[in-house]
Amino acid sequence: MSTDAILPPATLGMLGGGQLGRFFVHAAHEMGYQVWVLDPDPNSPAGQVAERHLRADYEDFAVLDRMAAECAAVTTEFENVPAATLDYLAKFIPVRPGAAAVAVCQNRIAEKTFLADNALPHGPFVAVREAGDLADVPATMFPAILKVARFGYDGKGQATVHDASEAMQAWQGFGAEACVLEKRLRLDCEVSVVLAREASGEIKVFPVAENRHRNGILDVSITPARVDEALAEQARQVAAHVATRLEYVGTLAVEFFVSDGALVVNEMAPRPHNSGHATIDASIADQYMQQVRALCGLPLADPRPHSAAVMVNLLGDLWYRAGDERAHEPDWSVLYAVPNLRLHLYGKHHARPGRKMGHFTVIDADVERAFAVAMAARRAIGIDDD
């Protein structure tokens, strides 16, 4: 253990107040820490359970001074915190992960360039900063997906394009913002790796998850992924290499496409990840405990799973059935009737379509049994099959 480890009852700072921050607060509380959350949303899920919720902008330097004075260290739950905020706080207290690592993950051009520069598996891409960047794109790049370089998530800020003309129209529709044009790949499946890395360089990796998306949003995550073990091991090694090259400290997720049997890095998330939620119920230590430990300079815990797990996202669409204009609480009794299912609701103030309101996880010794039970519960609560 580091001689400068941060021990309870120290106060930790969290930038961002969504469900990932809420789970961090729970983990920190269980370990004896207090937490301050900075988030401008008065209904912040993490702010509801923290010792203090600072309702301010991320660039309110008077508030940042309060955090620097009262918090022993600071982390984040989403990648779009301004780099200036992270740099400013790092002058006074540990900030993990650091601004440089977050900056790579929060900009798709920087992210793709990082992958290329480090010989990490990636698909064909073109950085689009001006109209001329689209003029000479070869026909072999299409069909493709144009993605805004900043602030796109859950399928937002993306457009499928079939030629350079469509790409130009989509780019102009995005306000001529910096974008990345990515060749659309044929997908076998999608997987992800969540890991934790401490400042000494030690890395602990959770089992590879197999992910299914719907309308660009994660729908179902299956752990362990039902893929060849050699491919799973390669995914773990690539994710660890990403963390090492970034000099990353904290919990990190790396998402992959599996295309024609080969791994391709899709993107990195400098925080815990939706596909890692199952670790709460199926692993000895979960991704949020590891986030606390890495932040505080404590040895990482054992990430081994004790069960297979299938996680199902619960979106705000579930609150609006049969064309209802008003939200209605789903019948949770159908989920509580399943003995090996655990429901997690995030305490969000308002349900709306596409918004992540909660999730449930089914655990079992056998992944196929867990999957069958989870899919039955998914249908029972009212989520239609594709």
Q: Is 153 annotated as a binding residue?
A: yes
Rounded-to-integer distance, Cα 25 and Cα 2, Å: 23
- Which amino acid, residue 98? G
Pairing of strands 144-148, 179-183: antiparallel
- Tokens at residue 185, please? 């790949």
Has 267 been labeled as part of a binding site? yes
**215 in a labelled binding site:** no
Tokens for 277, please give them: 């939620």
- 266 carries a ligand binding annotation: yes
**From CA 330, how far away is CA 321, in angstroms rounded?**
9
Q: Is 77 annotated as a binding residue?
A: no
300 is written with which tokens?
Answer: 């990482």
Assess whether the previous peptide bond of 143 is cis (omega < 30° from 0): yes
Q: Is 111 annotated as a binding-site member?
A: no
- As given in the structure block, the two tokens for residue 360 are 């449930």
Burial of 305 (0-12, 13-18, 19+ CB in 10 A): middle
Residue 127: other Cβ atoms inside 10 A: 15
185 marked ligand binding residue:
yes
Asked whether 135 and 185 are in contact (CB, 8 A), the reply is no
- The separation between CA 84 and the C-alpha centre of its own chain, rounded to angstroms, equals 21
Cα(9)–Cα(29) distance, integer angstroms = 9
Q: Was 108 annotated as part of a binding site?
A: yes
Q: Would you say 190 is a known binding-site residue? A: yes
Contact 189, 208 (CB under 8 A): no
Report whether 237 belongs to an annotated binding site: no
- Interacting residues of 333 by C-beta distance below 8 A, sequence separation 6+: none
Annotated binding residue at 183? yes
154 is in an annotated binding site: yes
> Is there a binding annotation on residue 241?
no
Binding site, by residue number, is: 108, 147, 152-158, 182-185, 190, 213, 266-267
Binding site for ATP, by residue number, is: 108, 147, 152-158, 182-185, 190, 213, 266-267
